[in-house]
Amino acid sequence: MREAPSLPVSLGAAMRLIALLFAASLATASLPAPPAAAQIAQIQLSAQEAADQAVVRKAQQAGSFTAMAPMEKDLIAVLDHAPAHYPQIERVGDVTNIRFTGASGPGAGALAGAIQAKGETFAVGMNTYAVAAMMLGSLANERRDPRKAIAYLDRGLALQPGNLVLLAERGMAMVVLRQFSDALALYEKAEKLDFVTKGLNRGAEGRLLRGKGFVLIELKRLDEAEAAYVAALKLEPDHPTAKAELDYIRKQRGGAPQTEIELKNVPPPPAKP
């Protein structure tokens, strides 16, 4: 059984698997505490974004696509409220706002440290409108509607072209459409993003590398696929999907037939409080 390019599932069946599910990184995140354990400031929200964020948080706690489905119209309304300008990092007055789609990585910590070293202030918060786009894209993918998923994800990417979580989910939709060459181009472009941008979306980089490996197998470029999965394991050493795919590559080199792709839903991870 194969999974591309998301979370681990049980192994043993004969079919290769595309698992359509929430990304684990949808949980609200924060930066590590700065020196002197000072309280980290939260981004000051408009009344509209505060209301929209409450909708997104409720959807995060749904725990399954079935439970989230009744909130689809509410999430669409949230995305419709997105401002024209909504980057992950922006200067507002004397404060640098940092928005997280998921848990922060070392790049985000380095950014915060650099801001503090300059005697400046930063604030953190949920990436409200990007997360709404991600949830809508994931729900559409789960319903086997990758084109609608791409439409939602592209709305998020119009706000934040370097958002790795959105790029990873878009790559999933492209794989479902069997647009392997185009998905590979997306993954390779995402790999070139800077350290800080990747740090704002920790966990997505490994998912991108696993997606890249999957499409390279489909394109019969096994050496490059192997390199992608090895790189993914350096980020997440015990990830079962990457290990299973490397085993699949070894079997392919030994003459085993390439199996078809099976679509299967996998329950999302539990929402974090």
pLDDT in the model for residue 223: 97
The answer to whether 96 and 122 have CB atoms below 8 angstroms apart is: yes
pTM: 0.82
- Phi/psi for 59 (5° steps) reads -65, -35
The answer to whether 17 and 180 have CB atoms below 8 angstroms apart is: no
Residue 252 included in any domain: yes
Residue 264 included in any domain: no
Q: Could you tell me how far CA 157 lies from the centroid of its own chain?
A: 12
Q: What is the DSSP letter of 121?
A: E
Instruction: Name the residue among 67, 203, 47 with its Cα closest to residue 128.
Output: 47
Helix (H, G, I), strand (E, B) or coil at 257: coil
β-partners of residue 263 are 18
pLDDT in the model for residue 51: 98
Residue 265 included in any domain: no
pLDDT in the model for residue 263: 59
Residue 97 to residues 30, 90, 93, 107, 181, Cα–Cα distance (Å): 12, 5, 10, 15, 36
Give, for all 273 residues of the chain, the pLDDT tens digit.
455 444 322 222 223 344 333 333 333 333 444 444 345 788 899 999 999 999 999 998 887 888 899 999 999 999 999 999 999 999 888 888 889 876 666 667 777 777 777 777 888 888 999 999 999 999 998 888 999 999 999 999 999 999 999 999 999 999 999 999 999 999 999 999 988 888 787 778 898 999 999 999 999 999 999 999 999 999 989 888 899 899 999 999 988 887 776 655 544 444 444
Residue 272 included in any domain: no
Strands (DSSP E) found in 43-161 = 89-92, 95-100, 121-126
Residue 41 included in any domain: yes
**Total domain count for the chain?**
1
Q: What is the CATH number of the domain that holds 77?
A: 1.25.40.10
Instruction: Name the residue among 269, 271, 28, 7 with its Cα closest to residue 131.
Output: 28
pLDDT in the model for residue 66: 86
Radius of gyration of the chain (CA): 19
Per the structure, the complete domain to which residue 225 belongs is given by 2-259
